[in-house]
Amino acid sequence: MKIKKEYTFSNNKQIWRLLPSETGKLVIEERDPEAKEVFFSCIEINSGNKIFNKLFIEEKFWIGIEKIYKNTIFFHRFRKPDMPGHIGIIAFDILSKNILWRNDDYIFLFIYNDELYCFKERFEGRNYFKLNYKTGELLENVGENAVEISTLREKILDEENPEGYYFTKQFFPETEGNEKVKKFLFEERNQNLISGKIDYILLQNLLFFSFHQIQPSGDEMKNIFKAVDIDKGKVIFEEELNRGVKNFVPDSFFIKDDLLFLLKEKTELLVCSIKK
């Protein structure tokens, strides 16, 4: 097995979220907390080719993404700068780079079978609606049936499992069922002055993991990623993701099919191929 660096992405802004789509796209949300600016970029996940870069949607900072469905991004605004509640739906087409429709009153819930479920807040409760996800056209006023909505939402959560995606889990020696993983990571922790948790993904005989190593000064850490052939006990790839950090950096990598995605220094995305 071999891991090869394929491409990088960086606008020298803090990467806030990485949102893969089911159509082979990766949407990157970047924020500048001091300037209070947010930008969105989209690349082809396999090549890194840019579809759009540093997109600005109306509001400079108080806007976010609810979901990416097929080739449509659903944005939301925040009710107030100091309140996390969402309000409004803005449907943006990735391919045409145009806003398809918007509604400032609805609040997004989920999409099921090409139908977008949302609601409006009322004094006495919520009123639910079903929309055409492409046009925003009202398909049905569902009313106040919260039980029906909750049941459907749980069904969707059970069914949602992005095909080909692998995300990290935390290593717990006392509950780890794979003895090779347990032995290797236990020894790694003892040898490297590791602080905090170890996040890992096991794919066949390849163990991918990241950890924070305490530096000689004692008040800083390095965030390190390694890929290991666990059968041979051989490190086949290593990358320093963050240097001089004082706080733990979560969720620094994931895998899609044969591509490895690494987040470096909070501002750079490094994508590598995993070849047999």
Rounded distance between C-alpha atoms, residue 78 and residue 193, angstroms: 42
Cβ atoms of 260 and 226 closer than 8 Å: no
Look at residue 23 in the predicted model and tell me its pLDDT: 92
pTM of the entire predicted model = 0.87
Main-chain phi, psi angles of 121, to 5 degrees: -75, 135
Q: Give the tens place of pLDDT for each residue, 67-122.
A: 999 999 999 998 877 677 899 999 999 999 999 999 999 999 999 999 999 999 88
Residue of 60, 20, 22 whose CA lies nearest to 42: 20
Burial class (CB in 10 A: 0-12, 13-18, 19+), 55: middle
Rounded distance between C-alpha atoms, residue 33 and residue 53, angstroms: 19
Domains, the chain: 11-159 (2.40.128.630), 169-250 (no CATH)
Both tokens assigned to 187:
């020894």
Q: Give the tens place of pLDDT for each residue, 215-232.
A: 887 788 889 999 999 999
Look at residue 14 in the predicted model and tell me its pLDDT: 93
